Amino acid sequence: MKHIGTLLITMFLAAMSLSAFGGGYGTLTSEELKAMIDRNEPGLVIIDSRSQGQYEEAHIKGAISIPLDVMEKNPELPAVQKDARIVFYCSGST
């Protein structure tokens, strides 16, 4: 059962991107995200949901580390602008 919950949360996090799609949810390709970063997109917040060790090995420049196990215990996001574009990314495995 834990694997199903983790899979659902991972799928949600991988697909979630607020405001980048007109205020809804969607997915981004790595090329689209890179373009947003290169343009210095206003209000872009990138959250890395991988383990702290994976984050320390390598991560997207400017990403905030909030490991999935931390989010499961405390789902509150850090304070961000109301109109922020929030992009979650993970390793894609459960």
What's the pTM? Answer: 0.69
pLDDT of residue 21: 42
**Tens of pLDDT, residues 66-94:** 998 888 888 777 777 778 888 988 887 54
Residue 39 has a CB neighbour count (10 Å cut-off) of 9
- 39 pLDDT more than 90: yes
18 pLDDT band (50/70/90 cuts)?
very low
Residue 59 has a CB neighbour count (10 Å cut-off) of 15
Give me the residue spans of the domains in the chain.
2-89
Residue 80 has a CB neighbour count (10 Å cut-off) of 14
Q: What is the mean pLDDT of the chain?
A: 77
Tokens in use for 26? 């969607």
23 pLDDT band (50/70/90 cuts)?
low
Cβ-Cβ contacts under 8 Å for 14 (sequence gap 6 or more): 27, 88, 89, 90, 92
Find, among 79, 45, 87, the residue nearest to 62 by Cα: 45
pLDDT of residue 93: 57
Question: From CA 62, how far away is CA 5, in angstroms rounded?
Answer: 28
Q: Considering only the top CATH level, what class is 2-89?
A: alpha beta
For the CA atoms of 92, 32, 76, 60, what is the dihedral angle to 10 degrees? Answer: 70
Give the three-class secondary structure for 53.
helix
